[in-house]
Structure 1
Amino acid sequence: MTKQDLFENITRKQSFLCVGLDADLQKIPRHLMREKDPIFSFNKAIVDATSLFCVAYKPNLAFYESHGVQGQDSLDRTVSYIKENYPDQFLIGDAKRGDIGNTSEMYARAFFEVSCYDAVTVSPYMGEDSVKPFLNRPKKWAIVLALTSNAGANDFQMTADANGERLFEKVLRKSKEWGTDEEMMYVVGATQGKMLEDIRRIVPNHFLLVPGIGAQGGSLEEVARYGMNSQCGLLVNPSRQIIYADD
């Protein structure tokens, strides 16, 4: 999916909602446990109920990998179901990959050629050669971790060098040299809402994937005020308060 395709879908639906598909067997409705594949049955119900209101889905791979082969099968079925029935949805593999170049190349093939995701989250910690394999692929995206919504983000991301440049700012400035805003997005946690002003000064035109609304305490109003650009530029991702809104 191109940047223009995504923007047109946001405009058509009047929504920048991304739904996180973090299926947890301890939380899904009990009656689904009678199904042959309860995780897929849960995901299918969520997708069918929300597809009119969102523009993207983001399965977090940990929730599937924790169930071994069966969990991977549930994930594959979920991805196929979305692609076949709701092809206008932007599909993000939340995997936070990032390794030496040849390993990242294998990860990129897995997500883009085998599983056919539109985007995958990647860690920039190992530098350019760990991210480059996810780029230069038509209509595919790398979503680079920049400023996250967890409490431990302060341990490293907010530390400043002698010139006052914080680590997340260094990540933004350096990584935007690796690719364009047609193939790279950034993860920016909603709990860092006012930081979006600083982020937009560095990457004014990139899309931002924003987790942390709701359960983690992020402010949607602040995200929209400080993060939106002329092409919206936002994908806001709640998970728990949507998929576990009822039992």
Structure 2
Amino acid sequence: MTTQELTTQIKKKNSFLCIGLDVDLNKIPKHLLDSKDPIFEFNKAIIDATHHLCVAYKPNTAFYEAYGIKGWQALEKTIQYLNYNHPEIFTIADAKRGDIGNTSTMYAKAFFEDLAFDSVTVAPYMGKDSVEPFLAFKNKHTIMLALTSNKGAFDFQTLSVNNNELYKQVLETSKSWENSENLMYVVGATKAEYFAEIRKIVPNNFLLVPGVGAQGGNLQEVCKYGMSENVGLLINSSRGTIYASKNKDFAQAAALDALELQEQMKAILNK
């Protein structure tokens, strides 16, 4: 999927909502545990109830890997279901990969070719040759960690390096990499005051923004400082949406939560 196609969907749906499919068997409704594949059944119900309200889904791969081969098979079924039934939806493998070049190439093949995701999150700590293998895939996107929403982000990401904060150095340097037009960046919603500075460096790249909802990020503040001419934002909600209810009405509850976010986004887009 191209960024232009993604922008078209945002305008069509009046939404830049991304829903995180972070499935914890301890949190899903108990009646699903009796099914053959409770992870997929949960995801399918969430997708069926919310696909018209969002433009992206983001399974965090850790929540599937934790359940071994059955979890990985559920992830595969989920992405196949999305790609077949809703090919207009942007898909994100939240895997945070990043290793030496040949290993990164294999990670990229796993997510882009075998599972057919549109994008994957990566960690840039090992530098250029660990990220460029992901960028080599046509019409696929690499979403690089820039400034994250966790408390530990301040351990390294905002440290001064050559009179520049490290996260800014990461953004600046990544712009020189081959196929950098395929880069998107993770910026936490709990760091809304940083968005204006980030937009000075990457004015047009899409930003994946976790932290709205359960982590307390403010949608209005993020949009005020982070929105670009082509919108350029994917606001993620995971726990706050998919676990809106633990009862049999869980999918309908998720849809109501997603609708509330979508209506806020619509109002922002139509200003």
2-side partners of 1:212 and 1:180: how far apart?
28
Code of the aligned partner of 1:213:
V
Deviation at 1:179, TM superposition (A): 4.3
Distance (whole Å) between structure 1 residues aligned to residue 105 and residue 136 of structure 2: 12
**How much has 1:145 moved relative to structure 2?**
0.3
Superposed displacement of residue 180, structure 1: 5.0
1:186 aligned residue:
185
What is the rounded CA distance, in whole Å, between the counterparts of 2:56 and 2:192 in structure 1? 21
SS at match of 2:160: coil
Shift of 1:162: 4.5
In the alignment, what sits opposite 2:97?
Answer: 97
Aligned to 1:161: 161
Partner-residue secondary structure (3-state), 1:150? coil
Answer whether contact 1:181 1:205 (CA < 8 A) is retained.
Answer: no
Q: Which residue of 1 aligns with 2:213?
A: 214
User: How far is the alpha carbon of 1:177 from its aligned partner?
Assistant: 1.1
Q: SS of the residue aligned with 2:205? A: coil
- The residue aligned with 2:241 is 242
Match of 1:174 in 2: 173
CA contact (8 A) 1:9 1:55 kept: yes
Identity of aligned residues (%): 59
Q: Aligned Cα RMSD in Å?
A: 0.9
1:166 and 1:219 map into 2 onto residues whose CA distance is 23
Partners in 2 of 1:14 and 1:189 — Cα distance? Answer: 22
Distance of 1:106 and 1:2 partners within structure 2 = 22
- Structure 1: give runs of 5+ residues left out of the alignment: none
What is the correspondence of 1:129-144 to structure 2 with a 5 Å cutoff? 129-144=129-144
Instruction: Assess, with a 3 A threshold, how the Cα gap between structure 1 residues 228 and 203 changes in structure 2: closer, same or farther.
Output: same
Report the Cα offset of residue 181 of structure 1. Answer: 6.0
Matched, 1:73 2:73: yes
* Matched length: 246
Is contact 2:140–2:182 with CA below 8 Å preserved after alignment? yes
Q: Secondary structure at the match of 1:170?
A: helix
> What secondary structure sits across from 2:116 in the alignment?
coil
1:57-84 superposed Cα distances (whole Å, 9 cap, x missing partner): 0000000000000100111110101111
Partner deviation per Cα, 1:174-219 (whole Å, 9 max, x = no partner): 0111145641100000000110000000000100000001111111
CA contact (8 A) 2:136 2:179 kept: no
* Residues 209, 237 of structure 1: 8 Å contact kept: yes
> C-alpha distance in 1, partners of 2:84/2:175?
33
Structure 1 position 136, deviation (Å): 2.7
Runs of 4+ aligned residues of structure 1 deviating over 4 Å after TM superposition are none
List gaps (5 residues or longer) in structure 2: 247-271
SS at match of 1:53: coil
How does the TM-score come out when normalised to structure 1? Answer: 0.98
Query: How far has the Cα of 1:137 moved from its partner?
Result: 1.6
Supply the AA of the counterpart residue of 2:97. R
Greater relative CO, 1 or 2 (CA 8 Å, sep 6+): 2
When the two structures are superposed, what TM-score results if normalisation uses the length of structure 2? 0.89
